[in-house]
Structure 1
């Protein structure tokens, strides 16, 4: 049997605390807190819906984070 891959975990973080932050500040803070992938998207962007542990998504409107979710 093959070994289970070493997958990233989601950091213990309050993802709602990113709402209202400037996009760049939010991205830097997320990386500092251990998120391995940070994705900023415009409202209504077409994205794949696969779950990726360690990823934090931001919906950015007018330069600020409007919504955040993990995976």
Structure 2
């Protein structure tokens, strides 16, 4: 089994997930090496620690409305 690419090697920008349905977006992100992938409702209270390799989705009505690393 090959190694997973690190986020620095990712060909996709976080903004490329905005507008996608949350389920398929999470699957695509994992296939591209993001781990973990975290989906959050708008206005969620979250910790602010940066986690290398993590991709965060803000999801409203089943659609990614915002995406960021860490």
Same fold flag (TM > 0.5): yes
Question: Shorter chain as normaliser: what TM range?
Answer: 0.7 to 0.9
Q: Unaligned 5+ residue runs, structure 2?
A: none
Distance in structure 2 (CA, Å) of the matches to 1:22 and 1:50: 26
Provide the secondary structure at the position in 2 that maps to 1:29.
Answer: helix
Shift of 1:15: 1.0
Distance in structure 1 (CA, Å) of the matches to 2:13 and 2:45: 25
TM-score (norm 1): 0.85
TM-score (norm 2): 0.86
Distance in structure 2 (CA, Å) of the matches to 1:43 and 1:15: 17
